Amino acid sequence: MSDIYIPGVTSRFNSEKLIEDLMKLERIPKERTERGLENLQTQKSYWQEVGRRISSVRDSARLLYSYQNPFSDRVAISSDEGAITASATREASEQTYRFTVKQTAQADRFLSSPLDEKMKIDAGTYSFSVGEDKISINYRGGALRDFVDALNRRSRDKIGASLVTIQSGTKSLLIESKVTGQANRLGFHDDSITLAKNIGMMEQGNDTRRDIVISDNTIRRSSQGLGKISVSDGILNVGARSSASLPLNMSLSADSPMMLRLETATKVETGDFFEIPQPPPGPSVTSGGSVTYGGVTIENEPSFTPIPEWNPPAAPVRNDDMAVLTLSFSDGTSAALPPIGDSGPFVSRQFLLSDVAQGRSIVSLNIENKNTHRDISVGKVEIFDPTAVNDGLRPLNIVSTARDAVITMEGIEIRRPSNNINDIVPGLTLNVRGVSDRPLEMKVSANTEKIKDAIISFVWNYNRLMAEINILTRADERIVDELTNASQEEIDDMKKRLGAFSGDTTLNSFKNNLQRTISAPYSTSLERDLTLLSQIGISTNAAGRSGGYDPARMRGYLEIDENVLNAALESKVPAIKELFANDIDGDLIADTGVAYNVDSLVKPFVEIGGIISLKTGTIDSRMKQDERRINTMEQQLAKKEADLKIQYARMESAYSRMEHMSTSLDNFNQQNRGNR
């Protein structure tokens, strides 16, 4: 069909095919340039990938010695996480602390009696307090659920209310403080008092709070050490080896919630606490007299009294006894309160009386200072009901009572209103979770897991960079086969890049310098025997393989012996830090080390205007030249094709005219023959 000529439709001489064949020849230089442009684009992407790999190595190297290096991170490990945990910052010292959790901090939470869920709350002013903060709502009246929602909207994160389902159609109202601590009691005011009584949350009780007056008239001194007992401004001072008592005279039930709260302080003598007595002077002997006669005086022989040899008394044994507080009972017995701790300023302490009295009537509080070198001061003694709130209200259904967290650190009792305590040990935030029946340890140490992750990341990025350089500089498929962790898609892509920069001396030189930097020795001041990465389990043959020549081990990949690394991290963290970056001139800036030198080596490649930028910039210039050349060739080819189409069209037209003239001549000749 292609050979059939249709006037006005097809070309008599198949001009389109002829033009296309001619243009194919004309397009060869342009296609060659386009292939070169694609090759340049590919080379640029390869250099960009190398730059990304180098940047990853630099980032992981800088992480090992920058300000945020993991060697300065700390982790706190508790021997009983059910009692206390902690989070440590970089400021925390590596040390082991001993704590005992006596009490967790809680907030007031009170529950009402079961209520009809359709119950209505009268209009009124309902006020509540948490410590010094007061919250009031002017409620217009409505359903129980509406009252709960209104209170939660106005609570300002201080008070919360919720409904607890008891059974179908019956709920209890829970009102709680959201702030822990003994000083943050939940109080009821205005119409809230009436509401609390009506819903069975509170009852009116008597204020059982008692302040014990400390004065010369109320204290009882012991027969010994009277000069060491004094009262000043409501503070009782009991000197060493002295005792005194304060009358309490109260009876308690075995389950009474009454608490004894007092403040104590101690003063410890730093010098000698015992004066060695001097020997007695002995008897005083009068003169024996004399006689004078004729101007001559004769003295009598003086009297003589033998004095035994002086033996000074032995110094008393130093005594430290912090169990100085006891309670005396009406049956003549007594019981000791828990020991106090040394403290310069006054420290508040409180005790549950029913635990000590066990139903007995308390007569007095005794301060029995048996210490030989410590004075005890007691002040602000009070007895109170911790469950009672304002105006003598007593909760009927207590879920929890506001109280402080109480812990001891190295024997010193510490009270805080919150279970999150961050002002005891610098850089350490304690999280109190539960009571401990025995002392527990909190060990603050280096975060070895984070250090290990940073080292592994450094080795991983180093190996990926070495693999990339090996692929680009060597046309050997064994290089790809050695990378066992690569996916099939990655393997196929690597094979396309094999040997792309085989003649590039920059990468080969960079690879050799990088290998020398990694394997070089670096001195550490803390561990003289620790100078190489291989000594912490990082080398080209960390797995300890034996045998002959292994080309994979010659390509510079690093391996990690995790057991050796873990052992080094257990005891040599400071030295490992110096191995990666060390300050040898005392200016507090790293001067040498594996990570520091690797960073210094790779920096010229990836910094702004560096080697990678120069490589890609050069390629960009060549690409722009080729793009301009291609644009010029496209214009020339378009003009050439247009010219050919015009020329062939003219040829077709001329041939058509000649053919038309030939036909006209034939017709004319035929007419002439017919006329003859």
Structure tokens belonging to residue 39? 């090759």
Q: What is the mean pLDDT of the chain?
A: 86
Per residue in 205-236, pLDDT tens?
Answer: 766 678 888 888 888 887 555 458 889 888 99
Lowest average pLDDT, out of 93-97, 543-547, 632-636, goes to: 543-547
Torsion over CA: 468, 474, 480, 481 (sign): negative
Beta bridge partner(s), residue 138: 125
pLDDT at 4: 47
Altogether, the residues listed in the chain come to a count of 676
The residue with greater pLDDT, 529 or 79, is 79
Residue 641 clears pLDDT 90, i.e. is over it:
no
- DSSP collapsed to 3 states, 462-494: HHHHHHHHHHHHCCCCHHHHCCCCCCHHHHHHH
Check if the beta carbon of residue 469 is closer than 8 Å to that of residue 487: no
Rounded CA gap, 470 and 53, in Å?
13
Nearest to 175 by CA among 386, 391, 384, 402: 402
Residue 42 clears pLDDT 50, i.e. is over it:
yes
The residue with greater pLDDT, 35 or 2, is 35
Structure tokens belonging to residue 81? 């996480």
pLDDT at 285: 66
Rounded CA gap, 356 and 242, in Å?
23
Residue 6 clears pLDDT 70, i.e. is over it:
no
Q: Which amino acid is at 501?
A: F
Identify the three-state secondary structure at position 115: strand
Nearest to 99 by CA among 78, 117, 116, 118: 78
Per residue in 448-479, pLDDT tens?
Answer: 999 999 999 999 999 999 999 999 998 888 88
The CB density around residue 17, as the number of other CB atoms within 10 Å, is 11
Per residue in 467-512, pLDDT tens?
Answer: 999 999 988 888 888 887 778 888 888 888 888 898 789 999 999 9
Structure tokens belonging to residue 200? 């069975």
pLDDT at 625: 92
- DSSP collapsed to 3 states, 14-52: CHHHHHHHHHHHHHHHHHHHHHHHHHHHHHHHHHHHHHH
Query: Please, which pLDDT band fits residue 359 given cuts at 50, 70 and 90?
Result: confident
Per residue in 655-666, pLDDT tens?
Answer: 788 878 888 888
The residue with greater pLDDT, 93 or 223, is 93
pLDDT at 223: 56
Rounded CA gap, 664 and 633, in Å?
46
Nearby residues of 635 by Cβ (< 8 Å), 6 or more positions away: none
pLDDT at 549: 46
pLDDT at 207: 61
Lowest average pLDDT, out of 53-57, 58-62, 193-197, 354-358, goes to: 354-358
Residue 629 has, within 13 A of its CA and on its CB side, a CA count of 16
pLDDT at 2: 47
Nearby residues of 430 by Cβ (< 8 Å), 6 or more positions away: 84, 85, 86, 99, 407, 420, 421, 422, 424, 442
Per residue in 323-345, pLDDT tens?
Answer: 999 999 988 899 999 888 888 88
The CB density around residue 161, as the number of other CB atoms within 10 Å, is 17
